[in-house]
Structure 1
Amino acid sequence: MTKTKSQLISKEELIKVFIEDRTEGKKKFVTWFLNDVMNEELIEQLNAESYERTDGRTGFRNGTKKRKLKTVDGELILDKPDLRSGSFTTTVFDKYSTVEKALNSVIAESYINGVSTRSVNNIINNLGVNVSPEYVSSLNKELDTKVKEFMETRIEEQIKYLYIDAAYFKVRKNGRYKSMALYVSIGVNSKGVRQILSMDVYNSEDGMDWSSFFFKLQERGLAGVQLVISDGHSGIRKAVTESFPGSLWQYCHFHFLKNLKKTMNKDQWEDISKIVSEALMDESLFKIAIDRMEKMKLNRSIDMFYKWYDPLYSYTSFPKSHQRKLHTNNVTERFNKELKRRTRKIGAFPDSDSLLRLVVSIAMDINEEWLLRKYINMEVD
């Protein structure tokens, strides 16, 4: 098989780079491999090897174009083949196309509705996005089908651990920008695999909205929840108690410490934070932390620690090997941070539907990676 110039990478070179820098070496190997895949696809599409003259040939090469591809190994620069006439089709970018379409949809819709920022305008110019209403409509129709499927897919496996959180995004409503709450639920099933279960947009975080969110999940088959991990929002606590009777609620240690810090000054926090953090991970140190607070006359802090004692140690009711993943809500925090990073250029969304189109597309992309490996080993107690 004839290789293009970009594919003429020797095995010795790949091995040398891999030994010197495994991360960079893997990126080079994946880049080489995906370029090779596209070259094979091109041969099949053209029905001819490079420079081969056959009666059945359907077109001619026209070099390559650089194309970025974000992967778990970092950003790759691929050489996507180009044709003199017509377009080259490849499966290499399919996995990421939904997110790209969702991003283009929001950008275009924002532009049409007059909510685009300067950065959005720059993206439109760089991408050459056709911002006609027809373009937006065609993209939205395709994406809405995917969102509906994600939001209605049956939850077949029992979910033992449930992480919940809300992130806020600016959405245009009635001609004004409003901060809307994006509810997120991530579950760990009986096999130890984590997955993003659902996402939905609400005006705020009251108990009724969270109860509605949980009810929709239960209608899809959510069952078996033994522990719910979240921040200390009163609306969440109320809804968890009503929706999951018999389950435990874990107050995320990160959020608790953040709120405890507000009950004292900076110097006091520097003196007490280490022993409090250690006490949260070792219940036997609780009294030592309280004694230290009493000596410092931190009465508000003591009252707060006693008030949340039970939910701060709910995670200890589960296997020791699981506990490291159960005492904080970091899994949703990291996911929300990724959503913020990948939607930063939008500024404000034209409506809640456009927000869901993009974040659900990102969620489906991330889910594909998560479903390939265990998050918690359920076989180890």
Structure 2
Amino acid sequence: MVKEKKSVHRIQMTEGKHQIIKQLLQEYNIETVADIQAALRDLLGSTIKDMMEAEMEQHLGYQKSERSDSDDYRNGYKKKTVNTSMGSLELDVPQDRKSTFEPQIVKKRQKYISEIDQKIIAMYARGMTTRQISDTLYEIYGFEASEGFISDVTDKLLPKIEEWQNRPLEDVYPVVFIDAIHYSVRDNGIIRKLAAYVILGISCSGRKEVLSIHVGENESAKFWLSSLNELKNRGVRDIMVICADGLSGIKEAISVAFPKTEYQRCIVHQIRNTLKYVPEKDRKAFARDLKTIYQAANEEDGRKALDHVTAKWQDKYPRAMKRWYDNWDAICPIFKFSAEVRKVIYTTDAIESLNASYRKLNRQRSVFPSDQALLKALYLSTFEATKKWTMPLRNWGVIYGEFQIMYEGRLPD
């Protein structure tokens, strides 16, 4: 497949532009790139001042050289420093006697006149701390942005987060995944572990969608019932399968909120919980044997494989297989599906790629200053990760057809 070349915008150099450049070179004695930046900064300051002078004339109703009977008049200038993508810039802001002048080109209390907000948010989305962002802005643009200012910029996201958390959802989801990732958060000087609970759905069109993110709540049937009821209040009427690890109270909450929904124990977590009892030398062989269980043709063969694996490794690792028996009722629903559907459910590729972005936050920040800071970082990381979610899952037509047969009458055609 031949890739289409990206078009490059070329600026046409007219004679007028050549003259401007020539004048700049002469006026500012430009020899380096830094000289160009200084010249542009100076020109920007002069241009902004002229525009504010024009705004003042419109505000007062007469030009600077004219006489007027108005009781409001010019009252000198006030120094103001703003930061731009070219560095700090000192402006002379015109004042009026009544202090009623409200400049629009650079508003009162406005400290930045470039896309700094967007740059800060983009860096925050990549997991950078407020200190790292502040240092980066200083290194690149030569001006200081306090950590408090950066927090204020990212706080602008909070209404958007609330709106996103309350947005309407689709009425039916064939599969929903629930997972938890833990972070260290500072709370009144004490560092404690908080969990970020992520709910991800696969829609009827086969597309992945993060439905909800909650931070800091304690796991319990009450908590999960509240979370599932929130989904219902946002429009979710039915879910075929909810796939989750052994979150405390989740099974009971599902049976109340969505009584027809099947609870499928996450096979990936089940495997991890088993292999933590097994040293490195035996893990590959043990993992191969575990495949004979969850890849068995049916539940009966899966149970036989479970007994066989347990007998084989029991003497060396007596605790390793206990959870397979304890959780068998939540593991066995997977056996009724074909290999294509099982792959969607037990490989958890859908949520693992998202979790990779969330784990990156843990690597970049050992401690979050607050649970609110964690929520902002998770929100931005989510939107960065989901930009690529433009296509349905592979073989979704076949998979959805199987769901329609298995759950007759519950899924739209």
Q: Does 1:236 align with 2:250?
A: yes
Q: C-alpha separation between the residues in 2 aligned to 1:335 and 1:162?
A: 14
Partner of 2:164: 150
1:20-39 counterparts in 2 under 5 A? 33=6, 36=8, 39=9
Q: CA–CA distance in 1 between the matches of 2:126 and 2:383?
A: 17
Q: 1:53 aligns with which of 16, 27, 34?
A: 16
Q: Distance in 2 between matches of 1:376 and 1:173?
A: 43
User: Matches of 2:303 and 2:395 in 1, distance apart?
Assistant: 29
Q: 3-state DSSP class of the match of 1:155?
A: coil
Q: CA offset at residue 181 of structure 1?
A: 0.7
CA shift at 1:342, angstroms? 4.3
CA-to-aligned-CA distance 1:18-52 (integer Å, 9 cap, x gap): 9xxxxxxx7xx88xx38x2xx46xx5xxxxx3455
Is the CA contact (8 Å cut-off) linking 1:102 and 1:143 kept in structure 2?
no
- For residues 252 and 363 of structure 2, what CA distance do their matches in structure 1 show? 32
Matched, 1:354 2:373: yes
* Residue in 1 that maps onto 2:348: 329
Query: Partner of 1:70 in structure 2?
Result: none
For 2:291 and 2:158, the matched residues in 1 are separated by 44
Call closer, same or farther: CA 1:275–1:161 in 2, change over 3 Å: same
Residue 46 of structure 1 corresponds to none
Determine if the alignment matches structure 1 residue 136 to structure 2 residue 151: yes
1:247 pairs, out of 258, 261, 285, with 261
Q: Is the 8 A contact 2:241 2:261 kept in 1?
A: yes
Amino acid at match of 2:397: E
CA RMSD of aligned residues (A): 4.2
Q: Choose 1 or 2 for highest CA Rg.
A: 2
CA displacement at 1:136 relative to structure 2: 3.2
What residue in structure 1 maps to residue 60 of structure 2?
none
* 2:134–2:144 Cα contact (<8 Å) kept: no
Question: Contact (CA 8 Å) 1:184, 1:332: kept in 2 or not?
Answer: no
1:218-237 mapped onto 2 (5 Å cutoff): 218-237=232-251
In structure 2, which of residues 193, 199, 206 is the aligned counterpart of residue 179 of structure 1? Answer: 193
In the alignment, what sits opposite 2:307? 290
Structure 1: segments with no counterpart, 5+ residues: 1-14, 19-25, 44-48, 66-81, 112-118
Which residue in the other structure is 1:73 paired with?
Answer: none
Q: What SS is found at the alignment partner of 2:346?
A: coil
Query: In the aligned structure 2, how far is the partner of 1:98 from the partner of 1:314?
Result: 46
Q: Does 1:100 align with 2:122?
A: yes
Distance (whole Å) between structure 2 residues aligned to residue 364 and residue 160 of structure 1: 23
How far is the alpha carbon of 1:190 from its aligned partner? 0.7
User: Helix, strand or coil: the match of 1:205?
Assistant: coil
Corresponding position of 1:375 = 393
- Aligned residue identity for 1:244: F
The higher-RCO structure (CA 8 Å, 6+ apart) is 1
Residues 163, 141 of structure 1: CA spacing in aligned structure 2 closer, same or farther, 3 A cutoff? same
Asked if the contact 1:144/1:357 (under 8 Å) is kept, the reply is yes
* Structure 2 match to 1:3: none
2: CA distance between counterparts of 1:212 and 1:296? 41
> Match for residue 279 of structure 1?
293
**Helix, strand or coil for the counterpart of 1:245?**
coil
CA deviations on 1:170-201 (whole Å, 9 max, x unpaired) are 21111211111111011001111111111111
